[in-house]
């Protein structure tokens, strides 16, 4: 492994981070408008036991949705559900176990959900990890690729027919893919997707987030072509003070702590754009967008014209 293969992705990723922090210094966090009630609608939020996922689930439940928090921490899940219900929310929440590093577990989760006969109106693909040391999922995929992208790709496709049936003209089902500004630094290496030749945690993470954006654009093209009442958008939450940063090098973590308190968004602020995409009237029928701080934003250069790569 050459030093360049590690240092270049690292530099590009941290440059993205600096740009985001500069934006957050000079721009206020997006404030949600008054959102319409969502009574009778059903949502799944992966990784919804804490951080951005929990705040997303919490807000959707407050609008009247029945929210299924999908995660692999049973105690955290029970605590999250209890906290939502203690707030006297109009909707309901429940926790259902799924291990997003296991495609077998994803399939089992989908079977359990289908057996209940529920509709599905909102799918928030939020679960993820960041910059872990080199390791593989039980299916043999690079960990970032498997957890952040492939598991959500599978989950979405296994639930897509249900989303299509649940959506109606003027009341579409909605898919939200949680990406990141780090996708701008991403390179999808079709010859080494699992990063086995040259591993960089920074490169692997940014690749997984780029893959989510490509998937968003490609899936929306397919949904539009078949006139389905389903939309899909990618969301960038900004730099948010969550446990995702626990895998940073010790020195970087020490430097991050004082900065995060001042410049990072809170989990609730980070969740605001995902909630907006899931529930706002302004987003009805709108898909194929990259949303940052409540606004439609241009993603990495030429991504919209890169559907050939997405199709591969």
**Domain boundary assignment for the chain:** 39-311
Helix (H, G, I), strand (E, B) or coil at 186: coil
Instruction: Return the active site residues.
Output: 205
235 Cα distance to chain centroid: 7
Give CA angle at 15 (262, 148), nearest 5°. Answer: 85
267-279 vs 51-62: helix crossing angle, rounded to 10: 50
151-166 vs 103-115: helix crossing angle, rounded to 10: 20
Per-residue model confidence (pLDDT) at position 230 = 98
State the alpha helices, DSSP H only, in the chain.
3-26, 51-62, 74-86, 103-115, 143-144, 151-166, 201-225, 250-263, 267-279, 307-311
Those residues whose C-beta lies under 8 Å from the C-beta of residue 213, and which sit 6 or more positions away, are 177, 179, 183, 234, 290, 299, 300, 303
Considering the domain 39-311, what is its CATH architecture? Answer: 3-Layer(aba) Sandwich (3.40)
- CA-based nearest residue to 121, from 84, 163, 160: 163
DSSP state letter for 266:
P
Per-residue model confidence (pLDDT) at position 132 = 87
- CA-based nearest residue to 269, from 15, 77, 24, 16: 24
pTM for the complete prediction? Answer: 0.90
Pairwise CA distance, residues 224 & 161, whole Å? 14
Concatenate the DSSP letters of all residues of 22-85 into one string.
HHHHHSPPPPP-PPPP-TT-EEEEETTTSHHHHHHHHHHHHTT-EEEEEES-HHHHHHHHHHHH
Per-residue model confidence (pLDDT) at position 285 = 97
Per-residue model confidence (pLDDT) at position 9 = 74
Per-residue model confidence (pLDDT) at position 6 = 61
Per-residue model confidence (pLDDT) at position 263 = 76
101 Cα distance to chain centroid: 15
Per-residue model confidence (pLDDT) at position 5 = 61
Taking a C-beta distance cutoff of 8 angstroms, is the pair 120, 162 a contact? Answer: yes
The one-digit pLDDT tens for each residue of the chain (312 residues) are 556 566 777 778 778 878 888 888 888 898 999 999 999 999 999 999 999 999 999 999 999 999 999 999 999 999 999 999 999 888 999 999 999 999 999 999 999 999 999 999 999 999 999 878 899 999 999 999 999 999 999 999 999 999 999 999 999 999 999 999 889 888 898 888 998 888 888 889 999 999 999 999 999 999 999 999 999 999 999 888 766 656 655 545 555 566 666 678 899 999 999 999 999 999 999 999 999 999 999 898 545 455 555 555
């Amino acid at each position: 492994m050459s030093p360049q293969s590690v240092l270049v992705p690292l530099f590009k990723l941290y440059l993205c981070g600096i740009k985001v922090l500069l934006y957050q210094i000079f721009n206020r966090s997006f404030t949600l408008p008054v959102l319409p009630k969502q009574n009778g609608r059903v949502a799944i939020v992966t990784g919804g036991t804490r951080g951005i996922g929990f705040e997303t689930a919490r807000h959707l439940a407050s609008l009247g949705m029945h929210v299924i928090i999908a995660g692999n921490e049973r105690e955290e899940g029970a605590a999250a559900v209890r906290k939502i219900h203690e707030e006297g929310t109009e909707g309901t929440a429940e926790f259902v176990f799924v291990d997003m590093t296991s495609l077998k577990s994803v399939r089992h989760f989908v079977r359990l959900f289908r057996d209940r006969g529920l509709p599905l109106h909102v799918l928030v693909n939020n679960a993820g990890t960041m910059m872990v040391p080199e390791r593989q999922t039980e299916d043999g995929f690079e960990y970032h690729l498997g957890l952040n992208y492939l598991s959500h790709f599978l989950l979405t496709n296994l639930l897509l027919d249900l989303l299509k049936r649940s959506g109606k003209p003027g009341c579409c089902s909605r898919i939200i893919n949680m990406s990141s500004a780090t996708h701008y630094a991403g390179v999808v290496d079709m010859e080494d997707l699992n990063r086995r030749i040259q591993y960089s945690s920074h490169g692997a993470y940014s690749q997984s987030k780029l893959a989510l954006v490509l998937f968003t654009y490609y899936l929306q093209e397919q949904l539009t072509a078949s006139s389905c009442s389903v939309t899909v958008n990618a969301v960038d939450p900004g730099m948010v003070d969550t446990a995702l940063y626990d895998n940073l090098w010790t020195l970087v973590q020490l430097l991050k702590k004082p900065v995060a308190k001042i410049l990072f968004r809170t989990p609730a602020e980070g969740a605001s754009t995902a909630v907006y995409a899931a529930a706002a009237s302004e987003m009805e029928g709108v898909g194929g967008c990259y949303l940052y701080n409540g606004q439609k934003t241009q993603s990495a250069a030429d991504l919209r014209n890169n559907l050939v790569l997405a199709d591969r």
